[in-house]
Amino acid sequence: MSVMFSIAWTEFKRMFSSPLAWSILAVLQFVLGMIFLVLVQEFIEVIQPETAGMDNAPGVTDTVVAAVYLWAGIIMLAVMPILTMRSFAEERMNGTFTLLRSSPISVTDIVLGKYLGLLLFILLMVVLISLMPLSLQLGTSLDIGKILSSILGLILLLASFAAAGLFISSLSQQPIIAAISSFGLLLFLVVLYISGKSASNGSEIFVYISHFGHFLSFLQGLFQSGDLVYYLLFIIGFLVLTIRKIDNESLQR
């Protein structure tokens, strides 16, 4: 058990010993900062004057905060594969995976350790992203409940990205291949959502399968246990697949 945590902590620390984590955090913060700025300006100059006096007008939390989290989710489609690609593919390429394989630890410890390391990074990213919408609290009053639900939604969405990316990484020898394949998988799930919502022959089942549909209800401040269960099943499913893949790897085929 403690081995799992030391793997997680080392994974987390190692991300910061290369410029990768720093540049991802910097670029992400810059892009989302710009988006946030545009949204806030739009709210002040357009939306607020128009909706003034309306009953039940959409507040800053709906128009700005939810949009920031939605954008964060979209950008992460491209960012998470870069973070997860290293997990197994890079270790294989550098021959360091032997170290883990020869140590007296179980495959479950290895996979969960790496996953926890990614989760730590995800939490850090979400905290940094959340500082922007929360800074609005200085000037106005926010719907904290909605923000918390958005934060939870983003964490769950990214955690599901990480689990899928981890699995793809376990299939691959080369980090780049892992990154491209995970990006493809994540994008495919978004496409499912779009096709499910399409006006001509949309189907609710596609919307249900896609991870994005479940994320959107969190952004609206809706906490449905069905969505939570969806993400948990998604994550557990991919983690189990990863464990099995790594476990079976040493066997004679």
By CB under 8 A, name the binding residues for another protein: 2-3, 6-7, 10, 14, 17-18, 94-106, 250-252
Please give the DSSP secondary-structure letter assigned to residue 210.
Answer: S
- Residue 108 Cβ, how far from another protein at the closest point, in Å? 11
Shorter beta-carbon distance to another protein: residue 14 or 30: 14
Shorter beta-carbon distance to another protein: residue 7 or 235: 7
Dihedral of the CA atoms 147, 152, 157, 162 (nearest 10)? 130
CB atoms within 10 A of CB 62: 17
Contact in structure between 196 and 206 (CB atoms under 8 Å):
yes
H or E element: which one contains 82?
helix 66-84
Rounded CA-CA distance 41/47 in Å is 9
Residues in the chain: 253
- Residue 8 Cβ, how far from another protein at the closest point, in Å? 11
Q: Which two tokens stand for residue 95?
A: 């021959």
Contact in structure between 87 and 170 (CB atoms under 8 Å):
yes
Question: CB neighbours of 39 closer than 8 A, spacing ≥ 6?
Answer: 63, 64, 67, 68
Rounded CA-CA distance 177/84 in Å is 11
Shorter beta-carbon distance to another protein: residue 201 or 250: 250
Rounded CA-CA distance 148/146 in Å is 5
- Residue 107 Cβ, how far from another protein at the closest point, in Å? 10
- Residue 179 Cβ, how far from another protein at the closest point, in Å? 18
Shorter beta-carbon distance to another protein: residue 1 or 138: 1
Shorter beta-carbon distance to another protein: residue 14 or 194: 14
Shorter beta-carbon distance to another protein: residue 18 or 141: 18
- Residue 120 Cβ, how far from another protein at the closest point, in Å? 16
- Residue 128 Cβ, how far from another protein at the closest point, in Å? 22
